[in-house]
Amino acid sequence: MDIDPLERGPQDACGVFGVWAPGEEVSKLTYFGLYALQHRGQESAGIALSDGERIVVYKDMGLVSQVFNEAILDSLRGHLAIGHCRYSTTGSPVWENAQPTFYTARDGGLALGHNGNLINTPELAAMLPGDRRGATTDTEVLTSLLADNPDRSTEEAAMELLPRVQGAFSLTFMDETTLYAARDPQGIRPLVLGRLGGGWVVASETAALDIVGAVFVREIEPGELLTIDERGVRSRRFAPAAPKGCLFEYVYLARPDTTIAGRNVNTTRVEVGRRLAKEHPADADLVIPVPESGTPAAVGYAEGSGIPFAQGLVKNSYVGRTFIQPSQTLRQLGIRLKLNPLREVIAGKRLVVVDDSIVRGNTQRALVRMLREAGAAEVHVRISSPPVMWPCYYGIDFATRAELIAGNLSTDEIRDSIGADSLAYIPLDELVSATEVPKDRLCRACFDGVYPIEVDEDSRGKYLLEKNCGTPDNGPLVAGRP
C-alpha cells in the first residue's frame, strides 16, 4: 500500500518531456528533464528512446532517481527520446500502467507520454480493434489508436485522431525517427517548446528546459501538433484554440520557477499573498508558511501586512512517497514525518499560517494541533486559493465532491473542524487578477463548478477501463521490471 505521511492533497496527472538532439546524450537529458518535473508525479517514471531504427522503453515504479542509474542511462543510446513521470488519474498506480506506453505498428513502434485526463475514453476505447480492448488507461487507448494506422504516417494518424479526443492532454510521442507534441484545444495542461543547440526539447514546464540548458522558444498552442525531425519543427493545427489554462497550476501544481502564459509562477503566488493580506488581515506576531508550496504566498502576506515572516516549520525534503506501512504510533504522528515545528520561533506567538489549498482538511487539522502543542498562542489560517468545492476531470486527482471539505461545510465550520482561531481564503477574482490572464481564458472549475468541457457521467471514474478488462500485453520492446 502506498502511504503518504500527509493527507494526499491535490495531485497532478504527470510530467512529460521530449528531446530530438543528434549528438547529445538524450537519455541523460531526459532524466534531468524528468527530475525537474518530479513534483508532477511520483508513482512511476519511464523513458522511451530511439536510435533511428528501434524504440526501447525503460520504466518502473518509483521516483526518477530510483528508476534510473548511470548504467541504465548509458545503455539507452539514440538521438530521440520522450520521458514521463506519473501520478495516476486514469488506471491504477501499477507497473503495467506506467508510461511511456508502447505499441507495435506495422512499420515499427510508437511510444507516448500523456499529462492530463480524457473525458470521452469509452468512446475512444470502442474504436480499438478487438485484440487491443484490454487497455486500462486513456493513455494506452491513445497510443493504440495512433499505432493502428498502417496506411498513414504517424503525423497523419494524429491529425485524424486528435480532433476526436476530448479532455485535457499534453502529449509527447515518437516513432523511430520523429518526435511529436500536441496540446488539447483548451490548453488545460501546460506544454512548451525549447531550443537546445541543434536540437529541440518539449516539456510540461519551462523549469525543465532550464535544467537541461534549453532556451525557451514558446508555448505549444492549444489545438497544435508539432512534428520534429531532421527538417526542423513543423506546426499543424488539428482544432481551433479555445484557451482554458488550469488556474490551479498557479496555485500549487507548477514549480515556482516556471513561467506560464508569460507570467512567472512565483511572482503570481507572492502577489496572491499580498492580496490575501489586504482581503483578510489578522492581528498576529508572525507569518509562517506551510513549506514549500505555501512559502511564496506567505512572503507576499508578510509584505502586504507588515507582519514579520518566519520559518516556523521545518520540512524534511527526503520524505517522499513510501511503500512502507508505518506503525500505528507513526501513523498517528503522520504529519511530523514531513513537518516539524520550530518551538523557539512559534512558542507564545500569534501566527498567520499560509497554505496553498484545503482539500479534505486532515493536514490542516493535524498542523494546527501540532502548532498549539508547540506553544502557539493563536493560529490564523490563510489559504492562497478559493475553497476547492468541485472535483477536477482534467488531470488533477481531486477527491469526489463528497470528500471535499469545502463542498460540504461553510468556512466557519471548516475553521472549527481544523481548530483554527480564524480561516480565510483568497477570493476567486483576486486570484485570477494576480495571474494577469483573462478570466475567460482560465479553467476555474474546481473553484466555481464551471467546466469548460462538458463531462459525461458515464465517462467519469479513475478505474473506468479496469472494471471489465484484464491487463494488456504492452509489447516486447518494453524493458524494466517485468
Residue numbers annotated as active site: 14
Q: How many CA atoms does the CB half-sphere of 234 hold within 13 Å?
A: 11
**327 labelled binding-site residue:** no
**148 labelled binding-site residue:** no
Whether the bond between 291 and the residue before it is cis, its omega within 30 degrees of 0, is: no
Residue type present at position 288: I
Find the largest Cα–Cα distance for the chain: 73
d(C-alpha 246, C-alpha 275), whole Å:
20
What's the grid cell of residue 116? 492530463
**443 labelled binding-site residue:** yes
d(C-alpha 225, C-alpha 202), whole Å:
12
Within 8 A by CB and 6+ apart from 51, the residues are 77, 78, 79
**85 labelled binding-site residue:** no
Mark the binding-site residues for [4Fe-4S] cluster, compressed into ranges.
246, 392, 443, 446
Mark the binding-site residues for Mg(2+), compressed into ranges.
293, 355-356
Mark the binding-site residues, compressed into ranges.
246, 293, 355-356, 392, 443, 446
